[in-house]
Amino acid sequence: MGNEKMTTLSDFVNEKLKDRTPTQIIVLTIGAAAATRVALDCFGDGQMVKRTKQAVWRGIRCFANPFISIQVKKATKDLKMPSTDGEFKALVLPKKSRSEAEVLELVRRLHADLDLSYEDGGFSGTVYHGGRTHTNFINDVMAIFQWSNPLHSDIFGATRKMEAEIVSMVLHMFNGHLLEDAGGAVTSGGTESIMMALKTYRDWARDTRGIERPSIIVPITIHPAFDKGAEYFNISLVKVPVVAATGRVDPVEMEKYIRYDTVALAASAPNFPHGVIDPIEEIAEVAFKHNIGFHVDCCLGGFIMPFLAKTGRNAPVVDFRNRGVTSISCDTHKYGYSPKGTSTVLYRTKDLRSYQFCCIAEWPGGMYCSPAVSGSKPGNVIAGTWAAMVRMGEQGYVECCDKILHTRETITTALAKLPYIHIIGEPITSVFAFNSNTIDIFQLGDGLKKRGWVLNNLQFPSGLQFSVTMLQTQDGIAERFIKDVKEVGDALYEERKRLLAEGKRPPVGATSATLYGTAQRIPDRTIVKDILREFLNTYYTA
């Protein structure tokens, strides 16, 4: 370069701005920052492709919407909810009172006519214990607290005490006791627990970092409660693809999506679709490195993961021992064997938890505060949850965990030997999923349903999911399931070979005439949402 003077970046900028006034420079700086933010919102993290697709389909729907609406109506016209043909329907408030005996008879008849029996263990998840002795015990406890409302803690002190102790017990399960200031709250279910965590991170980001519309990064396998919470609380949910071979998100890939408005990461232990556990320890380090939150969704595995190692099995660390984990959701009403309607959300610090609370100081009716969504809430389910946990104890949960995992291992080992079945990922808890490259997996599911098995249909990719519960640990049930899968699967496999021999193309993957098989082939997901809305309309048809 000789004696040539090299122009530094600052020299270059100063030269270009020498004729600008300070006001102009300030305006240009603000404008550039605003333009950068808009560009990131519109085009960052794959948003350009996503928004382009949405714009194209919106344009198509503008012209095709009348036709699409007709097709949606046709597709849903036969949707019906189970009902009875009996004379009595309570479509309006009855004019006259009825005796207790008469109403009890109506209730028993509805239960007998419309509810499927779960005691033979044919359902994935749904009822997680189901034992009659345990059920009767919980019912006895709940009857004592039938009218208890923890909102009035000065009146119903017992359920207030129980609620606080539920939080304390679950915090200990996730090693929150090792921290100086961990806290938590009881909610009505996993969805509320997750939504409260999202609300907490939103408000924390607003108050501490000035971020009005934050983003949270999650795997595509994360529970839909995150989508729901993002819609409710105006949060941008950024979804990261998972590794196809494992079903787990890649922490390195996840880190690439972090941007100026990212306030938290989230992952599952395990996830609902495939029952695999995201690499919590590695993701926690990413969150810690960037000084952002990290929520572990342990709703499904909340009473499995803490006891996994105590059964003698290898267990990843998914709790507060990871320095980057700042919150955890854990359902008590699944493998905690409590009555439906309770869950917990845990926080690394009470200060972080305070962003979940709602406190109103200006109401003429007095000062008001509540820890979660509900104001009034049923104290009886809190009492039932406390009683279930105290009755089971660590010993009981470890024993149940071991039985469930042994049953799941028995099933997945047997299914993996079938030539047309592929177990997705490497499940190590109670949940597993499987698909097939040779037979129509939904036809297999339909065949199993005829034999009394109700599994969960999966999409992207197609598959069937089974959450093993205590009901499947009963003698002979796992063996019956394996036998039924083999018999139905063998028939489909042989039919495939016959069609191939005749030069015909057999159905592979999601080709059966089912909701999932058809829905996956619809490129515009707003059409599928229209179908789902019709389903919900049907749900509320008496």
C-alpha distances (whole Å) from 358 to each of 157, 196, 264, 327, 375 are 21, 11, 21, 18, 10
pLDDT at 508: 56
Query: What percent of the chain has a predicted confidence (pLDDT) above 70?
Result: 81
| Top mean-pLDDT range of 31-35, 52-56, 167-171, 505-509 | 167-171
- 536/420 same-domain check: yes
The count of other CB atoms within 10 Å of the CB of residue 445 is 24
pLDDT of residue 83 exceeding 50:
yes
Q: How confident is the model at residue 506 (pLDDT cuts 50, 70, 90)?
A: confident
Least-confidence region, from 317-321, 415-419, 493-497: 493-497
- 308/397 same-domain check: no
pTM for the structure as a whole: 0.85
pLDDT at 503: 86
115: which 2 tokens?
A: 């509810």
Using the structure block, give the residue that is written with the tokens 């000789």. Answer: 2
pLDDT of residue 147 exceeding 70:
yes
pLDDT of residue 105 exceeding 60:
yes
- 409/339 same-domain check: no
Q: Nearest Cα to 515, choosing from 436, 468, 456, 439?
A: 456
431 in any annotated domain? yes
Q: What is the C-alpha to C-alpha distance for residues 403 and 410, in angstroms, rounded to an integer?
A: 11
Region of 510 please: left (phi>0), alpha (psi -120 to 50) or beta: beta
Residue/partner pairs of 456-462 with CB below 8 Å, 24 or more apart: 456/124, 456/125, 457/514, 457/515, 457/516, 458/273, 458/274, 458/433, 458/516, 459/510, 459/516, 459/519, 459/520, 460/520, 461/424, 461/435, 461/509, 462/435, 462/509, 462/510, 462/516, 462/517, 462/520
Q: Which residues contact 20 (CB under 8 A, 6 or more apart)?
A: 28
CB 321 within 8 A of CB 343: no
Query: What percent of the chain has a predicted confidence (pLDDT) above 90?
Result: 72
Q: Nearest Cα to 415, choosing from 518, 355, 484?
A: 484
Residues spanned by the domain of 348: 175-354
441 vs 24, higher pLDDT: 441
388 in any annotated domain? no
Domain CATH for 283: 3.40.640.10
186 vs 502, higher pLDDT: 186
Over the stretch 513-524, which tens digit does the pLDDT of each residue have? 445 445 555 555
Which residue stretches of 274-378 are H helix?
280-290, 305-308, 350-353
pLDDT at 258: 97
Over the stretch 227-261, which tens digit does the pLDDT of each residue have? 999 999 999 999 999 999 999 999 999 999 999 99
Domain CATH for 457: 3.90.1150.10
- 420/287 same-domain check: no
Q: Are strands 293-297 and 327-331 parallel, antiparallel or unpaired?
A: parallel
- 343/410 same-domain check: no
- 202/311 same-domain check: yes
473 in any annotated domain? yes
Least-confidence region, from 6-15, 298-307, 382-391, 429-438: 6-15
Q: Nearest Cα to 345, choosing from 201, 236, 238, 239?
A: 201
**Mean pLDDT computed over 84-113:** 89
249 in any annotated domain? yes
Q: For the chain, give the mean pLDDT.
A: 88
- Single-letter amino acid, residue 158: A
pLDDT of residue 64 exceeding 70:
no
- 193/270 same-domain check: yes
Instruction: Classify 228 as helix, strand or coil.
Output: helix
- 279/403 same-domain check: no
- 451/304 same-domain check: no
pLDDT of residue 511 exceeding 60:
no
pLDDT of residue 463 exceeding 70:
yes
C-alpha distances (whole Å) from 30 to each of 24, 213, 242, 248, 273 are 10, 19, 37, 40, 45
pLDDT at 1: 45
C-alpha distances (whole Å) from 11 to each of 7, 8, 26, 28 are 6, 5, 19, 18
pLDDT of residue 3 exceeding 50:
no
pLDDT of residue 20 exceeding 90:
no
Least-confidence region, from 30-34, 89-93, 137-141: 30-34
How many independent structural domains does the chain possess? Answer: 2
Q: How confident is the model at residue 43 (pLDDT cuts 50, 70, 90)?
A: low
Q: What is the 3-state secondary structure (H, E, C) of 440-471?
A: CHHHHHHHHHHCCCECEEECCCCEEEEECCHH
- 447/298 same-domain check: no
- 329/420 same-domain check: no
pLDDT at 500: 86
pLDDT at 502: 86
